[in-house]
Amino acid sequence: SLKRWLKHFFYISSAHRFFNKKDRLDIAQAVQQAEKGHVGEIQVVIEGHIPCSQAYHQNARLRAQQLFAELGVWDTELNSGVLLYLNLCERKVEIVIDRGLKNATQTEIWNQICQRMVYQLAQKQHLEAIKNGIKEIGQVLDHYYVHSEADNKNELPNEPIILN
């Protein structure tokens, strides 16, 4: 929509302001901890705003799905990838899960995680929102997958990807 495009066009990027180097390390450690004991893989993407060339036709959900594909989150060995996408401009959180999880989990579980994160973001608790979201995703993966330290290889980077 035009309104969304204007919002993203005039947005002043703040991803690096909200998440300094220490915060990014904390997020990476939270991902590492959440991935322990199972084959689930979590990729965190924090984006200031959707690129203006895409903002008119694309909402946060479509952007998250695009990044899920572009970043290869879908390409884990056991189809166990989860993308946690945060759009700062719209204050939206999206979780995109791989096909290995779709039939085994309920959409409502992922929506509730997103809602809790959005609430914390509204309270200006950006780092805590992401760390808690990662922890909750890890708990869902822990419940779904068989516990095994032997299969605990890291297929996706733990560090968050920060875009504009």
CA distances to 44, 59, 103, 114 from 30, in Å: 11, 27, 26, 17
Q: Are 110 and 91 in contact (CB under 8 A)?
A: no
Q: Per-residue pLDDT for 28 more than 70?
A: yes
The CATH fold assigned to 2-163 is: Diaminopimelate Epimerase; Chain A, domain 1 (3.10.310)
Q: Domains of the chain: which residue ranges?
A: 2-163
How confident is the model at residue 32, as a pLDDT?
A: 95
Report the pLDDT value the prediction gives residue 44, as an integer from 0 to 100: 98
Structure tokens at 161: 């990807």
Q: What pLDDT shows up at residue 66?
A: 94
pLDDT of 7 reads: 60
> Can you tell me the distance from the alpha carbon of 84 to that of 67, in angstroms, rounded to the nearest whole number?
10
Q: Is 74 exposed, middle or buried (0-12, 13-18, 19+ CB in 10 A)?
A: middle
Q: Tell me how far CA of residue 88 lies from CA of 3, 102, 124, in angstroms.
A: 16, 26, 11
Most confident residue range from 5-14, 65-74, 102-111 = 65-74
Instruction: State the Cα–Cα distance between residues 138 and 147, nearest whole angstrom.
Output: 12
Chain segment 40-93, per-residue pLDDT in tens: 899 999 988 776 667 667 788 998 999 999 999 999 888 889 999 999 888 899
pLDDT in tens, 116-144: 999 999 999 999 999 999 999 999 998 88
Dist CA 31 CA 159 (whole Å): 8
Residues 64 and 45: their CA atoms lie apart, in Å, by 9
Q: What is the pLDDT of residue 11?
A: 58
pLDDT of residue 150 exceeding 60: no
- Helical spans, DSSP H, in 56-162: 60-70, 99-102, 107-122, 126-144
Predicted confidence at residue 154, as pLDDT, reads 82
The answer to whether residue 17 scores a pLDDT higher than 80 is no
How long is the chain? 164
